[in-house]
Structure 1
Amino acid sequence: MRILLVGAGLSGAVIGRALAEAGHDCRIIDARPHIAGNCHTERDAETGVMMHVYGPHIFHTDDEGVWNYVNRFARFLPFQNRVKTTAQGRVYSLPVNLLTINQFFGTTLRPEEARALIESKADTTITDPQTFEEQALRFVGPELYEAFFKGYTEKQWGCSPTELPASILKRLPVRFNYDDNYFFHRFQGMPQDGYSAMVAAILDHPRITVDLDTLYHPDMAAQADHVFWSGPLDGYFDYRLGRLGYRTLDFERFTHQGDYQGCAVMNYGDREVPYTRITEHKHFSPWESHEGSVCYREYARAAEPGDTPYYPIRLVEEKALLEQYIDLARATPGVTFVGRLGTYRYLDMDVTIREAMDTAQAFSQGPTPAFLRDPL
């Protein structure tokens, strides 16, 4: 069959590789001049540092099948994300752990004592947290909420934490030990030569052709037996019902001789600091040595037409519009919507790859639906 895949990121590459190995001819197009989507990496010409061009991407998963898959195409080296935050004039360890608690309250508590302290500060009158703020107040209390979550969240999402669902905060653990590994998955690492090299290896198959700087046109679908769309869901329909909401990121790049901040990621929790974090890219490749350093100050804002979308907002208004686009998609034959943008869901890289693998398998077994997983 002739397969058209729109988007040369992880979804398009993984599906394309599987279908090419199954004997199908796959054409992959991307509007950007590079492969790998938002996890694109490249060497900085000035310093030689491996740059995460669209912000840091750290691979972590409990899915052994996905871990084996990425290691088939790249050599992964150990990397654990150890985030710090500057708040109220001091530096703390994230996620909130026993060191953070003892630092913040000036104590030397053991795990049981710290647990009791946090429980004493928590608002136990909140029995069913509905908003981000209620979730934070219920589980960490007002002081830690104000220091580490409130200002950062307002900057990241552009709205009050009272307008965000409690589910967002469930991604942020509180630990009553000294473990400051940001993630808790069994497999964690970073591809030695960057994500773009890994995606290039996935795409290296005689039945795959890749056309970059190429915009999708509906006429292309007529030349294919099936289309896999990893662009914005509303973009496929030319935004006819309106635009789904996204947050985007602006990066202010600067260089430094030596080590600028001593860690890969430094968050800034205070609302008065306009950026959410500073990332220092050479620390994402600790096996390399560079005198120069490249850093990004990261600013979040609402995405506008022409911006690179990063995070689906998925608040009440967006979910109502999303339902309408889902109905449109399901009524459109010959197209499967995949990935973060195509399904309007926040997906980590490992989940994106797993769903792409499963989508390719489903395609080989018969007619493929518009969505392998229900976007709602």
Structure 2
Amino acid sequence: MGKRIVMVGAGLSGAVIGRMLAEAGHKITVIDSRDHVGGNCHTQRDEDTGVMVHVYGPHIFHTDDEEVWNYVNSFTTFMPYKNRVKSTVDGQVYSLPVNLHTINQFFGQALRPDEARDFIKSKAEDIAEPQNFEEQALAFVGSDLYKAFFKGYTEKQWGCSPTELPASILKRLPLRFNYDDNYFFHKFQGMPEDGYTPMIASILDHAGITVKLGEMFDPATAGDWDHVFWSGPLDGFFGYELGRLGYRTLDFKEFRYDGDYQGCAVMNYGNADVPYTRITEHKHFAPWESHEGSVLYEEYSRACEPHDIPYYPIRMVDEKAMLSDYVAKANETTGVTFVGRLGTYRYLDMDVTIREALDTGRAFLAAEEKGEALGAFLKSPV
């Protein structure tokens, strides 16, 4: 007889785990406080323009994980999409990530790849072991490119000096000595033809799954279920009793334009005196469609308050200390597994979220077969 299992959150984690366990014969209830499935991946058609809007900011699917790619394509049709980001700095528009075109344009050069490598090496500062984001950037590209493309943007995005951020953040940003302006380098890249929400709704479309929207789950009732998968904030499960983990949140100022406003999906603004980090023009996320009108977001980053939507875990020293305490509490809790970006307090791309959800579902089924209980985390957040 199948177990009664609740997924708290109707985003990617809850949908993927729920589908797998439903197919194995368990009775799944998915509960979400919002009035839609999809979590922050939620998309919807704008009534006036017909543009598919990424309601909580843009989500671009990219992965090298072939199983994950095949999985999402089994629930929707993915269309080809390459993310080509631009950046406006001091009244000029450049390509990101920093590539050979960016370097030549910025410095007024016509360098070949090998010449550009030597040129940037001459600009880079000799810092053997960078201790923070700023030192890492200076060691990578030198002062000029750092100030133009990284310093102001980072200050706005994280609300602090780059000297306070770990060097590891910048290690994810590529520097290219060719003219490749595809922001991501993964084998599989695309966008769901009809948006993410129908895709996730399709994953949840199973006779063994009941979806309840607009409802809050009370952690005190966790014992009423055979197992709980919690994709809400880790600290929220415990009523924030040890304090609140730090997040950055985003505010979106929507505006409309008759025509094509910026000619690309994402335009960063590197100067610190421009209050928003970027402008996203949503119709360009679906280049196979044609729309006269346009829907755009100015994106502002700030510290997350109690009633805001958390986006980016900060994971600074104070947060990591508190996180260790919450992880200890979670490991003492039975019948609950914490999943997803919020549940594990880690920055996870969509493909990694799905990969971990698939692995978590399989781990649950394997543990059940052995008569064992699944622990609090598939991968420890600390």
8 Å CA contact retained: 2:22, 2:206: yes
Change (3 A) 1:274 1:103: same
Equivalent in 370, 373, 376 of residue 379 of structure 2: 373
Partner of 1:53: 55
Partner of 2:106: 104
Q: Which amino acid aligns with 1:185?
A: H
> Deviations 1:80-103 (Å, cap 9, x if unpaired)?
000000012100000000000000
User: How far apart in 2 are the matches of 1:286 and 1:332?
Assistant: 47
Partner of 1:117: 119
User: How far apart in 1 are the matches of 2:211 and 2:363?
Assistant: 23
User: How far apart in 2 are the matches of 1:89 and 1:121?
Assistant: 23
| 1:193 and 2:199 matched | no
After TM superposition, the structure 1 = structure 2 runs for residues 261-340 of structure 1, keeping only pairs within 5 Å, are 261-340=262-341
Displacement after TM superposition at 1:222 (Å) = 2.7
Root-mean-square deviation (CA, aligned residues, Å) is 0.6
Q: Normalising to structure 2: TM-score of the pair?
A: 0.98
Q: Which amino acid aligns with 1:14?
A: V
User: How far apart in 2 are the matches of 1:129 and 1:40?
Assistant: 38
Q: Which runs of 5+ in 2 are unaligned?
A: 368-372
> Deviations 1:90-132 (Å, cap 9, x if unpaired)?
00000000000000000000000000000001011x1011100
Q: Which amino acid aligns with 1:222?
A: G
Displacement after TM superposition at 1:368 (Å) = 1.0
> Deviations 1:147-189 (Å, cap 9, x if unpaired)?
0000000000000000000011111100000000000000000
> Deviations 1:291-332 (Å, cap 9, x if unpaired)?
000000000000001100000000000000000000000000
Q: Which amino acid aligns with 1:84?
A: K
User: How far apart in 2 are the matches of 1:16 and 1:24?
Assistant: 9
Displacement after TM superposition at 1:218 (Å) = 3.1
After TM superposition, the structure 1 = structure 2 runs for residues 340-355 of structure 1, keeping only pairs within 5 Å, are 340-355=341-356
Q: Which amino acid aligns with 1:183?
A: F
User: How far apart in 2 are the matches of 1:63 and 1:109?
Assistant: 35
Displacement after TM superposition at 1:45 (Å) = 1.2
User: How far apart in 2 are the matches of 1:360 and 1:163?
Assistant: 38
Displacement after TM superposition at 1:219 (Å) = 4.7
Aligned length, in residue pairs: 375
> Deviations 1:242-277 (Å, cap 9, x if unpaired)?
000000000000000000000000000000000000
User: How far apart in 2 are the matches of 1:96 and 1:198?
Assistant: 33
User: How far apart in 1 are the matches of 2:306 and 2:220?
Assistant: 23
Query: SS at 2:74's partner residue?
Result: helix
User: How far apart in 2 are the matches of 1:222 and 1:187?
Assistant: 41
Displacement after TM superposition at 1:221 (Å) = 1.8
Partner of 2:250: 249
Q: Which amino acid aligns with 1:293?
A: S
Query: SS at 1:301's partner residue?
Result: strand
User: How far apart in 1 are the matches of 2:286 and 2:309?
Assistant: 25
Q: Which amino acid aligns with 1:371?
A: F
Query: SS at 1:336's partner residue?
Result: strand
| 1:140 and 2:146 matched | no
Partner of 1:78: 80
| 1:207 and 2:208 matched | yes
User: How far apart in 2 are the matches of 1:129 and 1:29?
Assistant: 44
Partner of 1:179: 180
Partner of 2:259: 258
Q: Which amino acid aligns with 2:334?
A: P
Partner of 2:90: 88
Q: Percent identity, aligned pairs only?
A: 72
User: How far apart in 2 are the matches of 1:260 and 1:220?
Assistant: 50
User: How far apart in 1 are the matches of 2:166 and 2:69?
Assistant: 31
User: How far apart in 1 are the matches of 2:183 and 2:227?
Assistant: 40
Partner of 2:370: none
> Deviations 1:232-251 (Å, cap 9, x if unpaired)?
00000000000000000000
